[in-house]
């Protein structure tokens, strides 16, 4: 015995002590300081989070900057599968939430959230984080209601009215292209499935649906066909472009005046400023052209929410932070002004955004028009295999846009629907016919 | 007695001690991941209900279903056909140019040899992604200096990334990057040929072309075969060039090449199981093709070494 026995007792006691504290962890940490990691790609988010860290020394949040939505989701899914490596808090685009929930990457935080949080957001936006259930998988952060940007100078020169309906849009596209064969009012982008989904949303489509315990897929629906037919027609006529957006060629087109309109979302000014600095002050924002004059509706392109991952050991604190970030007036103002996002919180849209973005200094009512659009976003349900459907869109519509045939656009839609359903049934989901 | 006792154990252990690092690395970083990929290729996820919430998904044994799905997938079949065509286009041109440049540099008359060699080799040092971006800009009519010059001269400039030319456009990037490497390998083995042989041939009245074709090329056959196999494997693995060009055009799908399909299945569709099955198929095909070819030309390729 002697010294060695004593050492053994000390070690055993130490092990016991740590073992106990390990079990008591949740209670201890409810009061003790914790640190959380936050994966996000919104610019300057660290500065917004600094406000939180100042006020909440007990819950320190560290921002881990990500490359963008898709790579971050891939990393999170991998970490979930591996059982470790996920952050506590995660920025996730709305269309990725069903996928993340299905993969058990996001935690249900309905118990940890104040019920009043739901009231801060428009109903359609809130539906995107609950997936129509009692669970809450994230707190909405920003939204991307779709709007229409156009070059005011070009419209004035040609004596054109801002299109109120899609028929007028088509007419304007024809006139602009006739006046200058190099100029286009827009392009059909086969690389941006989210953009097309937003257009379908405006027309009244909802690509997925829940029917009891089975999913339904309505990509190839009346409403979407109307949209595909319209854009396919314009491409076939040759009055709008057929090249994808965000290519060097498209960026150059915005700047050199060959792209004089852009069907996009409220976050557009950032893109325009980055790519078309030469045209500052010449653009204007308008509501989306409508299918039925007098009926106001729009879709959403982009937008994300703040979720708590299933691996977080501090879900309570993480949920508290997510709620603060997206509902606290100071945080929302910082999000809008420092990080440049269009906040999802209804109050934030009018209180935090009073002056127009620098690039749109010529349009004082920029955010009033945007807020009006935000109020007209049509409901839309995303499914558990959005990634597959979007991928099918890229492949099928890429071919269709290249052939410049209207009929090919409708075939592409059929193929997209078939691919999406096949993937669901292959994965073992029940799909309602 | 003492000496032999000391000598015997090391003799048995030593080889393994020397081999151990290689074996450990192979087992850890090659065999284990391959084994895991093969294991995953026989698995699948099973969903119950809507697939939402806890425990709605679990992993199950799938047998050969992933393989069946992968081989029957028209996208996969298309991508294989496309890569076969791409290889038919790329490999002969690349090998031909590499051999031509090597022979020209090796012929006694070449001037500025060092400069030319570096100039031809340099593109190999440019990473494929950067090379693709660079060529992508040259291809896009709206930003291409070629199209600009052609426009100024009122000449038509073909759209190099249209569905008609896209295969050539991608092959061109690989060609630009690959010729230099193959050229260096061939040039080095040409340098190892004794000058006596050429001299003797010259005395016998052979011209430069005859010396090149009848003496030099047969002697460097093993190097030619090696570079050919490397090019073949690189062709089957084409990924970086089309992936980098994809955002610039409508004409490269996400399953344009077999490896792109693996990447898409694993990371876009989050289906590592069928991605694993497809990659096992690709690995086997590569193995069969490269060993099959080596077998076919084996005697010729290694004849010289086997003789003594």
Query: Which residues does chain A have within 8 Å of residue B48's beta carbon, measured at their own beta carbons?
Result: 428
B138 CB near a chain A CB, below 8 Å?
no
Model confidence at A21: pLDDT above 80: no
The residue that leads in pLDDT, A27 or A272, is A272
- Alpha helices of chain B — where are they, by DSSP H? 2-26, 32-41, 65-72, 74-106, 113-121, 128-139, 145-152, 166-191, 195-203, 208-210, 217-219, 221-236, 240-245, 258-263, 272-306
Pairing of strands A261-265, B57-61: unpaired
Residue B52's beta-bridge partner residues?
none
Nearest CA in chain B to A423: B269
pLDDT for the residue B47: 83
Distance CA A241, CA A226 (A): 19
Query: Which residues does chain B have within 8 Å of residue A253's beta carbon, measured at their own beta carbons?
Result: 142
Nearest CA in chain A to B134: A248
Say if the Cβ atoms of B269 and A135 lie within 8 Å. Answer: no
Question: Shortest CA distance to A117 belongs to which of A332, A368, A350, A266?
Answer: A332
Query: Which residues does chain B have within 8 Å of residue A398's beta carbon, measured at their own beta carbons?
Result: 250-253
Q: What are the backbone angles phi and psi of residue B150, rounded to the nearest 5°?
A: -60, -40
pLDDT for the residue B301: 58
pLDDT tens string A248-270: 889 999 999 999 999 999 999 98
Question: Shortest CA distance to B289 belongs to which of B244, B229, B204, B247?
Answer: B229
Pairing of strands A138-151, A261-265: antiparallel
Residues contacting A36, CB < 8 A, separation 6+: A59, A60, A61, A62, A87, A88, A89, A312, A314, A317, A318, A321
B58 CB near a chain A CB, below 8 Å?
no
Tell me how close the Cα of A105 comes to any Cα of chain B, in angstroms.
Answer: 10
Distance CA A218, CA A16 (A): 58
**Neighbour count for residue A328 (Cβ, 10 Å):** 18
Nearest CA in chain A to B139: A249
pLDDT for the residue A6: 47
Nearest CA in chain B to A80: B270
Say if the Cβ atoms of A391 and B248 lie within 8 Å. Answer: no
Say if the Cβ atoms of A385 and B247 lie within 8 Å. Answer: no
Model confidence at A207: pLDDT above 80: yes
Question: Shortest CA distance to B174 belongs to which of B116, B261, B232?
Answer: B232
pLDDT for the residue A18: 42
Average pLDDT over chain A, rounded to an integer: 89
Distance CA A142, CA A185 (A): 27
pLDDT for the residue A143: 93
Say if the Cβ atoms of A244 and B255 lie within 8 Å. Answer: no
Say if the Cβ atoms of B137 and A248 lie within 8 Å. Answer: yes
Q: Are B170 and B79 in contact (CB under 8 A)?
A: no
**Neighbour count for residue B237 (Cβ, 10 Å):** 14
Model confidence at A9: pLDDT above 70: no
B247 CB near a chain A CB, below 8 Å?
yes
- Helix A386-403 vs helix A193-202: angle between axes, to the nearest 10 degrees? 90
Q: What are the DSSP calls for A302-354, one per residue?
A: EEEEEEEBTT-S-HHHHHHHHHHHHHSHHHHHHHHHTS---BSSHHHHHHT--
pLDDT for the residue A31: 60
The residue that leads in pLDDT, B60 or A319, is A319
Per-residue pLDDT in tens (0 to 9) along chain B, 308 residues: 455 545 555 568 888 899 999 999 999 999 999 999 999 999 988 887 787 777 777 888 988 999 999 999 999 999 999 999 999 999 999 999 999 999 999 887 777 888 888 999 999 999 999 999 999 999 988 888 888 888 888 888 788 888 889 999 999 999 999 999 999 999 999 999 988 888 899 899 888 889 889 999 999 999 999 999 999 999 999 999 999 999 899 999 999 999 999 999 988 888 889 999 999 999 999 999 999 988 888 766 555 544 43
pLDDT for the residue A252: 92
Say if the Cβ atoms of B247 and A387 lie within 8 Å. Answer: no
For the whole model, what pTM was predicted? Answer: 0.84
Say if the Cβ atoms of A395 and B143 lie within 8 Å. Answer: no
Query: Which residues does chain A have within 8 Å of residue B250's beta carbon, measured at their own beta carbons?
Result: 190-191, 242-244, 397-399, 401-402
pLDDT tens string A165-206: 999 999 999 999 999 999 999 999 999 999 999 999 999 999
- Residue burial A209-218, b: 16+ Cβ < 10 Å; e: rest: ebeeeebbbb
pLDDT for the residue A27: 41
B54 CB near a chain A CB, below 8 Å?
yes
Say if the Cβ atoms of B57 and A104 lie within 8 Å. Answer: yes
Write out the two tokens for A52: 């939180």
Distance CA B308, CA B306 (A): 6
Q: Mutation test of the interface with chain B: which of A99, A243, A390, choosing the one with the most B Cβ atoms within 10 A?
A: A243
**Cα–Cα distances in angstroms (integers) from residue B43 to residues A149, A385, A388, B65, in the given order:** 49, 19, 20, 9
Residues contacting A398, CB < 8 A, separation 6+: A190, A191, B250, B251, B252, B253
Residue A215's beta-bridge partner residues?
A210, A431
Q: Are A289 and A266 in contact (CB under 8 A)?
A: no
pLDDT for the residue A369: 93
Question: Shortest CA distance to B264 belongs to which of A199, A431, A419, A414?
Answer: A419
Question: Residue range A290-307: average pLDDT?
Answer: 93
Question: Shortest CA distance to A138 belongs to which of A380, A346, A344, A351?
Answer: A344
First to last CA, chain B: 39
First to last CA, chain A: 76
Say if the Cβ atoms of B137 and A399 lie within 8 Å. Answer: no
Residue with tokens 């050991």, as numbered in its chain: A313
pLDDT for the residue A139: 97
Determine the Cα angle at A375 with ends A373 and A376, to 5°: 70
Q: Are B101 and B183 in contact (CB under 8 A)?
A: yes
**CATH superfamily membership of B65-252+280-301:** MetI-like (1.10.3720.10)
Question: Residue range A217-223: average pLDDT?
Answer: 96
Say if the Cβ atoms of B250 and A74 lie within 8 Å. Answer: no
Q: Are B231 and A231 in contact (CB under 8 A)?
A: no
Say if the Cβ atoms of A249 and B140 lie within 8 Å. Answer: yes
Determine the Cα angle at B175 with ends B188 and B253, to 5°: 145
A384 CB near a chain B CB, below 8 Å?
yes
């Amino acid at each position: 015995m002697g010294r060695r026995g004593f050492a053994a007792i000390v070690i055993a006691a130490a092990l016991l002590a740590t073992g106990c504290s390990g079990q008591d962890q949740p209670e201890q940490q409810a009061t003790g300081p914790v640190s959380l990691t936050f994966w996000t790609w919104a610019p300057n988010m660290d500065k917004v989070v600094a406000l939180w860290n100042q006020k909440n020394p007990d819950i320190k949040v560290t921002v881990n900057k990500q490359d963008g939505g898709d790579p971050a989701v891939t990393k999170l899914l991998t970490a979930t599968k591996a059982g470790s490596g996920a952050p506590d808090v995660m920025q996730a685009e709305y269309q990725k939430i069903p996928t993340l929930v299905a993969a058990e990457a996001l935690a249900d935080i309905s118990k940890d959230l104040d019920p009043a949080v739901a009231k801060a957001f428009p109903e359609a936006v809130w539906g995107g984080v609950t997936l129509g259930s009692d669970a809450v998988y994230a707190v909405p952060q920003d939204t991307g209601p779709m709007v229409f940007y156009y070059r005011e100078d070009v419209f004035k020169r040609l004596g054109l009215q801002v299109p109120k309906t899609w028929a007028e849009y088509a007419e304007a596209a024809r006139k602009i292209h006739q006046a200058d064969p190099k100029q286009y009012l827009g392009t059909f982008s086969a690389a941006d499935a989210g953009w097309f989904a937003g257009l379908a949303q405006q027309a009244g489509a909802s690509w997925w649906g829940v029917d009891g315990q089975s999913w339904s897929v309505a990509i190839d629906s009346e409403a979407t066909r109307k949209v595909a037919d319209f854009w396919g027609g314009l491409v076939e006529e040759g009055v709008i472009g057929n090249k994808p957006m965000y290519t060097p060629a498209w960026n150059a087109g915005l700047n050199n005046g060959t792209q004089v309109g852009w069907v996009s979302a409220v976050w557009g000014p950032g893109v325009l400023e980055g790519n078309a600095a030469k045209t500052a002050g010449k653009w204007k924002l308008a509501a989306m052209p409508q299918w039925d004059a007098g009926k106001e509706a729009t879709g959403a392109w982009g937008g994300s929410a703040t979720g708590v991952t299933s691996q977080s050991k501090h879900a309570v604190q993480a949920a508290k932070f997510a709620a603060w970030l997206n509902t606290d007036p100071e945080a929302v103002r910082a999000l809008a002004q420092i990080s440049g996002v269009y906040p999802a919180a209804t109050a934030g849209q009018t209180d935090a955004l009073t002056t127009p973005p620098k690039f749109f200094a010529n349009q004082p009512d920029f955010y009033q028009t945007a807020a009006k659009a935000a109020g007209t976003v049509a409901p839309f349900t995303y499914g558990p295999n959005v990634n597959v459907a979007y991928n099918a869109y890229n492949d099928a519509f890429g071919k269709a846009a290249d052939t410049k045939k209207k009929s090919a656009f409708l075939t592409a839609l059929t193929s997209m629907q078939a691919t999406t359903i096949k993937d669901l049934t292959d994965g073992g989901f029940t799909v309602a016919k | 007695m003492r000496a032999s006792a000391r000598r015997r154990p090391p003799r048995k252990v030593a080889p393994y001690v020397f081999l151990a690092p290689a074996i450990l690395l192979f087992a850890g970083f090659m065999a284990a991941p391959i084994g895991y990929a093969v294991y995953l290729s026989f698995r699948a996820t099973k969903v119950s209900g809507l697939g939402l919430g806890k425990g709605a998904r679990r992993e199950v044994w799938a047998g050969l279903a992933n393989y069946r799905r992968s081989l029957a997938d028209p996208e996969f079949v298309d991508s294989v056909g496309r890569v076969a065509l791409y290889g038919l286009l790329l490999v002969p041109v690349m090998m031909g140019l590499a051999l031509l440049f090597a022979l020209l540099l090796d012929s006694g008359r070449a001037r500025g040899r060092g400069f030319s060699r570096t100039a031809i080799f340099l593109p190999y040092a440019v990473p494929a992604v950067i090379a693709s971006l660079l060529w992508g800009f040259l291809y896009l009519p709206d930003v291409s200096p070629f199209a600009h010059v052609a426009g100024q001269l009122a000449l038509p400039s073909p759209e190099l990334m249209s569905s008609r030319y896209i295969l050539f456009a991608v092959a061109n990037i690989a060609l630009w990057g690959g010729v230099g490497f193959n050229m260096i390998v061939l040039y080095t083995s040409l340098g190892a040929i004794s000058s006596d042989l050429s001299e003797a041939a010259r005395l016998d009245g052979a011209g430069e072309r005859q010396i090149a074709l009848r003496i030099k090329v047969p002697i460097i056959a093993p190097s030619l075969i090696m570079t050919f196999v490397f090019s073949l494997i690189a062709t089957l693995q084409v990924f970086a060039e089309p992936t980098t060009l994809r955002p610039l055009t409508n004409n490269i799908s996400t399953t344009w090449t077999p490896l792109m399909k693996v990447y898409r299945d694993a990371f876009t569709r989050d289906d590592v199981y069928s991605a694993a099955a497809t990659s096992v198929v690709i690995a086997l095909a590569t193995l069969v093709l490269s060993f099959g070819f080596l077998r076919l030309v084996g005697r010729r390729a290694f004849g010289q070494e086997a003789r003594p």
